[in-house]
Structure 1
Amino acid sequence: MAGSILLALKLRWSRDREYYKIVKHLFGFLPNNIELYKLALIHRSASLFLEDGTPINNERLEFLGDAVIEAIVSDCLFIEFPERDEGFLTQLRSKIVSRSTLNALGLRLGLDRHIIVQGGGNFAQKHLYGDALEAMVGAMYLDKGYEFVNRLFINEILRRYINLSSMTRTETDFKSRLIEWGQKNKRRITFSTVNGEAFTSQHPTFRSAVLLDGAEIGTGEGGSKKEAEQRAAMHAAERLRETAPEGAFGHIEIDIETI
């Protein structure tokens, strides 16, 4: 009863009532420290500055949220796939926490309607909304703690918007896809694979690097040359999707369900 009264008061009379409504609408709960969420919505292009020149924006919360999301996804996959090995879990986690997936999730949640950006968002930053999602998760972590944000992120975001079963069936031969892309676009893709630093005959490890026209664009390690090259190719594919023109490397799909 008291909680309902407090919620009604904050939503109607608080000077920050619009921010309380935003968090309630996006994530379904009432914040304790609304200032954290206000900060999470300030992109660096719209930074405020203290008298000593220190910028006020969401970058530090973004840094924190990135680590929290990776930990939550790791927890979730460890439980969901008890029979799968470390390589499988690492690849699936990389897909979920990739810049493109988080950006799509930020858009699906509606963060694009609330983030504060100078110039209305007309700039080259491709993953603005994924960055804002990370910042909001960082704010939740500081405000409510890990267990709270763990449950919320898994139940209200991952299980609502990510189809894990379908994602595990999507294309995983990144090396072949990358080579095909290079041939189609007349770019030279090569792999350089060597023994890893901890290589022994009993426990072999390998490190692979992907070169695009001679420049390194991705690296990966694994217990076999094939595994190392696939991880390097996946890393390179993600970097290409971040930097290439929209749609230029879109054939490695991210499966995000509609509501």
Structure 2
Amino acid sequence: MTLYETALTHKSASKLDTQGNQVNNERLEYLGDAILGSIIAEFLYNRFPNQDEGFLTQMRSKLVNRSFLTDLTYQIGLNAYIRSNTNNTAENSHIYGDAFEAIIGALYLDRGYRVTKAFIVKKILPSYVDLNQVQHTNTNFKSQLIEWSQKNKQEINFETTEHLSGDSKTPSFITVITSDGLPIGKGEGNSKKESQQNASHQAIKYLKKTDAQSFD
């Protein structure tokens, strides 16, 4: 497979190379995560010269979290090219954000840091990202859910389990959120924190859809 084909191949659709090793986008995702974080950090440092470290850290977190990258993947149409043998459900939607990071990793290896930076700063951010909207959006879904539960005196519980699938050495985490014993959200991620955030996001969507108490 080419570098970019590999970047679009989830571990559930892994191919074997000539040495019998499974080929998927996990390594490229790891690399792309670091490169993207570096580019976004430098961009924000230059874009907001009068803001402190706390503001810059929060903005970077919003721009590189899986939910944001998943939405971005859909906006640019990349989701249609991702190879996966899993059901495309909300709890494994991180697959799309992971693939975006893997593409960044592949672009870096193919064309270098300068071209990759230009792609993000001159193509992606101006066309698909509203920085003002991002600045005023709260993406800490777990915090929002906990605040809602306290305000409305509803008990919620987070149950997170670790999973290893197939021959992958990298674990994934699945979180199920219940309210008064009933499941209201489920999410998967590469870390416990990420899975809880994804599950909280789904829980909030569910509660809003079912006309539960508002999140105002």
TM-score (ref. length: structure 1): 0.58
Q: What is the Cα-based RMSD across aligned positions, in Å?
A: 3.2
Distance 1:188 1:119 in 2: 27
Alignment of 1:1-259 (within 5 A): 35-50=2-17, 52-118=19-85, 121=88, 124-171=91-138, 177-183=144-150, 184=152, 185-187=154-156, 239-244=195-200, 247-250=202-205
User: Relative to structure 1, is the Cα distance of residues 138 and 240 closer, same or farther in structure 2, using a 3 angstrom cutoff?
Assistant: same
Structure 2 portions without partners, runs of 5+: 159-176, 179-191, 207-216
Q: Read off the aligned partner of 2:156 and give its amino acid letter.
A: R
User: Relative to structure 1, is the Cα distance of residues 186 and 89 closer, same or farther in structure 2, using a 3 angstrom cutoff?
Assistant: same
Structure 1 portions without partners, runs of 5+: 1-33, 190-211, 214-235, 252-259
Q: Is 1:241–1:249's contact at 8 Å kept on the other side of the alignment?
A: no
Distance 1:167 1:95 in 2: 7
Q: Read off the aligned partner of 1:187 and give its amino acid letter.
A: I
Q: Is 1:240–1:249's contact at 8 Å kept on the other side of the alignment?
A: no
User: Relative to structure 1, is the Cα distance of residues 44 and 74 closer, same or farther in structure 2, using a 3 angstrom cutoff?
Assistant: same
Identity percentage of aligned residues: 41
Q: Name the structure, 1 or 2, with higher relative contact order (CA <8 Å, separation 6+).
A: 2
What's the offset of the Cα at 1:118?
A: 2.0
Q: What is the number of residues matched between the two proteins?
A: 174
User: Relative to structure 1, is the Cα distance of residues 172 and 134 closer, same or farther in structure 2, using a 3 angstrom cutoff?
Assistant: closer
Distance 1:95 1:150 in 2: 18
Distance 1:115 1:85 in 2: 38
TM-score (ref. length: structure 2): 0.69
What residue in structure 1 maps to residue 172 of structure 2?
A: none
Distance 2:87 2:51 in 1: 44
Larger radius of gyration: 1
Q: Read off the aligned partner of 1:248 and give its amino acid letter.
A: A
Distance 1:186 1:104 in 2: 30
User: Relative to structure 1, is the Cα distance of residues 107 and 139 closer, same or farther in structure 2, using a 3 angstrom cutoff?
Assistant: same
What's the offset of the Cα at 1:179?
A: 3.7
Residues 201-234 of structure 1 deviation map (CA, whole Å, 9 limit, x = unaligned): xxxxxxxxxxx99xxxxxxxxxxxxxxxxxxxxx
Q: Read off the aligned partner of 2:21 and give its amino acid letter.
A: T
What's the offset of the Cα at 1:181?
A: 2.5
Q: Is 1:39–1:56's contact at 8 Å kept on the other side of the alignment?
A: yes
What's the offset of the Cα at 1:166?
A: 2.1
Distance 2:6 2:139 in 1: 38
